[in-house]
Structure 1
Amino acid sequence: MTVATRPLPGPPRPYSFPAFKRTALAGGARLLVAEVAKLPIVSVTVVIAAGAESDPAGKEGLAQLTARAMVEGTSSSSALALAGRIEKLGGVIDSDAGWDSARINLTCLSKHLEESLDVLGEILTSPSFPENELDRLRDERLAEIEQIRSEPRGLAEEAFTEFVYTAGERYALPPGGTRESVSALSRQDVAHHHAGLYSPGNASIVIAGDVSLGDAARMIDRAMSGWTGATRKRAYVSAAPAPAGPRALLVEKGGAAQSELRIGHAGIPRSHPDYFPFSIMNAALGGVFSSRINLNLREKHGYTYGAHSIIDWRKAAGPFVVSTAVGTDVTADAAREVLGELERIREEEISTDELSLVVSYLQGVFPIRYESTAAIAGALANLVTYDLPEDYYDTYRDRVGAVTTADALRAAREHIRPEALRMVVVGEASLLDKLEQMQFGPIDVRNET
């Protein structure tokens, strides 16, 4: 019998990330422009250093509410009027805040860029934060919270982050805030947050599309001439992990058809020098379909339709987590297999075949991620947010290819810490006995029925 072997991947096709230029604008904001003239489209992203990490204690969700409210009305235009003006120009605009920045995104035809920037300038210089729009946005977030808490998957995600970080840390709570914190947010809170952080000195504007640096700077300086405000140095979020020592949490959810399982701990910051070795190691562990964890739980044991591991890259150390959903009767067995794979990735180097597979995958999908002007602008926004080097995207594939099996092993040994692991299970109360038999560590129990 002839056994087929997987063909070796060929060399990655040549690719160059679009060249970009920088300049300082008259008001103090920084401008990055990648001139991409293949289509008459331009994407603009305004990056403000005002992400969820800037939320004051007790006002979690303020950054997100403020960012979303930016496009909901100005001193001279209602939300409906703003949307109508952008639609007439064939554009789209939205705003939101993640952990590390708030962003306003605009995409339009290049022939309408100047008029579209006028709308964007009005949004940046004179947002009005109407009470009725804030009430709607607040209600939408509260409804989202209730939806998340009603589903085992969402419940597991929030319970895990809360369990991984020390109580009271910003990272222990969702970026959009909790039911209690969001309900208490006022228009005064939003206006104060905006006044303190939404200034040109805290902003970068990135543009990708059919426009030159000079033309873009001229249009923005004119459209945003009224944008002022003092630059306030923000304090970075405190993200202390939970005290060391393996510990489990069982969230009892009566009637759950299966268990949601999460195992992990606080990871490493985006700026860590082991970003590439950790990324390669994680891809082999649980980041691609043929990863160890997925092949083990799905293909070998048939416990699940899919299992994966990720690290949520942030300025501070975001969570590293293995996630899956399994049948109630195999929950403890699946957890043992995950723990075994975490130990194995620390004990032995990944094979050269595993390394080749994940490297070729990461190198191959890289160009596909940046086929649109919006995607290119988003990449440049990340470059600004995380202070990445100028040549980051040009050297990305080379740096991925430079990681060795020894590098991946070192990253696993240094950054996967068995003594810090936390396990969260959302499922039937009857799971407690089997989890105790694992002798993983102390078990906390919470009822969410």
Structure 2
Amino acid sequence: MTIDRKQAPEFRAIDNINLLRPAHQALDNGCNVFCFNSGDQELVRIEWIFANQRYNPEKPLLNVAVNTMLTEGTNNMTQAQISDKVDFYGAFLQVDYGYDNSLVTLYSLNKHLQHTLPVIKDILTDSIFPEKELATYIRNQQQKLQVSLQKNDFVARRAFNKALYGDTAYGLGADADTFKTLKRDDMLAHFKQMYQPSNCTIIISGKIEPQILELITDTFDKSWTNPDIKPDATQPEIKPSTEHFYFTEKPDALQSAIRMGLPVINRTHPDFPALQVLNTVLGGYFGSRLMANIREDKGYTYGIGSGMSSLKHAGAMFIATEVGADVCKAAIAEIEKEINLLKSDLIPEEELSLVRNYMLGSLLGSLENVFSHADKFKNLYFAGLDYDYYDRYVETVKTISAERLKELANVYLDFDGFYKVIVGKY
């Protein structure tokens, strides 16, 4: 085959995105199981996803600490024994905490599930949070926090979240003393309330043979029961701060961290896909306006970007960067200029076409395997949405006009109403 390198490869627009849809099974104990059966490799990923319990300001770290310490030991196995058994069978086990949900994830070869699943079952039903490991966890987290607080971007992110989300899990900014509130008895009670089948969703993806599904359901159905205490996934009302400007001075700083933005809609709102297009134009990819201006033209920073966060009970649009301390005010002025241009001028069709292709290409590129399809499903399921969301997303990206984007900018991008956080010099 001869390749003519003077001729660009054929370009074809993306017509639609085909997403795998799961099979669903409800277990008798109230746990929902979703299966994405695809692929030739004898491998599965199984996720046990639990809704975080109601945030308690007096004991704010329970959700994250309990999930993080699930693998630190049970009545039957120590932390070392758990790790050794998982490693012996070539499996991979991890725990992840999110603002709304906490996950336990297992990657395992199909032939070894009979040995690896009992480990997960033991963790989810009999974790004991040993005092020695808890003391080590507290000490390690305090040390990590001490290091992180030296980083301007970390301090700015914490202050920004606190301003937007107040005294909730979204706005939590722990200090060293906060970790001292962790007590083993509280963690055991929290564990019993949260890690029960009625509060769990299991998502299985990979090559799911009938005997594999039978093994999983048998392990996590009849012998896994709900305690008398009911889970409580409600959350306190979010009350954003009345103060919109925060400055933490660091006289010796060479760079200033800037984080600014405001509460907006989340994924459940009809305008969300359109606002994602606007965000991409502003700062959502390497060729964005913020990058072109503040990095490429002005040279104030190595990188700047904007993003959107969609949480169960909130949403936000934000801009984040670190700039030379001597150009902090100038950088903020340029950010304001770019936002105001979106509100006053129409986006040229050539630029909008580039953004469309980037966004559709990114969506298509993110669906590289069956695990990726399961991840897209999680975005929908836990937001209470259906697959038509992605149909609307694709249609919006392909057809939205410059006039509509200008209208959205005037509705959502009020620079005077932005929460602005600066750490360093100003």
TM-score (norm 1): 0.86
- Bigger drift between 392-401 and 307-316 goes to 392-401
The one-letter amino acid paired with 2:20 is P
Q: In the alignment, what sits opposite 1:74?
A: 74
Helix, strand or coil: the match of 1:309?
strand
Residue 155 (structure 1) shift: 1.3
Helix, strand or coil: the match of 2:73?
coil
Q: Partners in 1 of 2:127 and 2:391 — Cα distance?
A: 38
Residue 179 (structure 1) shift: 2.6
Structure 1 residues 218 and 7: CA distance shift in structure 2, 3 A: closer
Q: Deviations over 1:74-125 (max 9, x none)?
A: 2211111111111111110111211010110111112223332222222112
Aligned positions of 1:37-48 closer than 5 A = 37-48=39-50
Q: Partners in 1 of 2:108 and 2:93 — Cα distance?
A: 9
Helix, strand or coil: the match of 1:388?
coil
The one-letter amino acid paired with 1:238 is E
CA RMSD, aligned part only?
Answer: 2.4
Structure 1 residues 241 and 392: CA distance shift in structure 2, 3 A: same
Question: Is 1:150 matched with 2:145?
Answer: no
The one-letter amino acid paired with 2:240 is P
Q: Partners in 2 of 1:113 and 1:402 — Cα distance?
A: 47
Question: Is 1:50 matched with 2:52?
Answer: yes
Q: In the alignment, what sits opposite 1:371?
A: 368
Q: In the alignment, what sits opposite 2:270?
A: 273
Contact preservation (8 Å) 1:44, 1:106: yes
Q: In the alignment, what sits opposite 1:196?
A: 193
Q: Partners in 2 of 1:422 and 1:9 — Cα distance?
A: 42
Residue 360 (structure 1) shift: 1.1
Contact preservation (8 Å) 2:50, 2:195: yes
Q: In the alignment, what sits opposite 1:381?
A: 378
Contact preservation (8 Å) 1:42, 1:113: no
Structure 1 residues 191 and 120: CA distance shift in structure 2, 3 A: same
Residue 372 (structure 1) shift: 4.0
Residue 186 (structure 1) shift: 0.9
Q: Partners in 2 of 1:260 and 1:9 — Cα distance?
A: 40
User: Unaligned stretches of 5+ in structure 1?
Assistant: 1-5, 432-449
- Bigger drift between 99-108 and 113-122 goes to 113-122
Q: Partners in 2 of 1:279 and 1:86 — Cα distance?
A: 40
Q: In the alignment, what sits opposite 1:434?
A: none
TM-score (norm 2): 0.90
Q: Deviations over 1:393-420 (max 9, x none)?
A: 5665344324333333333222223342
Contact preservation (8 Å) 2:266, 2:316: no
Residue 286 (structure 1) shift: 0.5
Q: Partners in 1 of 2:246 and 2:392 — Cα distance?
A: 42
Q: Partners in 1 of 2:389 and 2:22 — Cα distance?
A: 12
Residue 63 (structure 1) shift: 0.7
Contact preservation (8 Å) 2:29, 2:226: no
User: Unaligned stretches of 5+ in structure 2?
Assistant: 1-7
Helix, strand or coil: the match of 1:370?
coil
Contact preservation (8 Å) 2:266, 2:309: no
The one-letter amino acid paired with 1:410 is E
Aligned positions of 1:409-424 closer than 5 A = 409-424=406-421
Structure 1 residues 215 and 204: CA distance shift in structure 2, 3 A: farther
Residue 163 (structure 1) shift: 3.0
Q: In the alignment, what sits opposite 1:35?
A: 37
Q: Partners in 2 of 1:113 and 1:33 — Cα distance?
A: 16
Aligned positions of 1:107-146 closer than 5 A = 107-146=107-146
Structure 1 residues 42 and 348: CA distance shift in structure 2, 3 A: same
Structure 1 residues 273 and 392: CA distance shift in structure 2, 3 A: closer
Aligned positions of 1:149-298 closer than 5 A = 149-166=149-166, 168-174=167-173, 177-212=174-209, 214-224=210-220, 225-230=222-227, 231-243=230-242, 247-298=244-295
The one-letter amino acid paired with 2:73 is G
Q: Partners in 2 of 1:180 and 1:270 — Cα distance?
A: 35
- Bigger drift between 33-42 and 387-396 goes to 387-396
Q: In the alignment, what sits opposite 1:438?
A: none
Q: Partners in 2 of 1:276 and 1:122 — Cα distance?
A: 41
Q: Partners in 1 of 2:411 and 2:109 — Cα distance?
A: 48
Q: In the alignment, what sits opposite 1:96?
A: 96
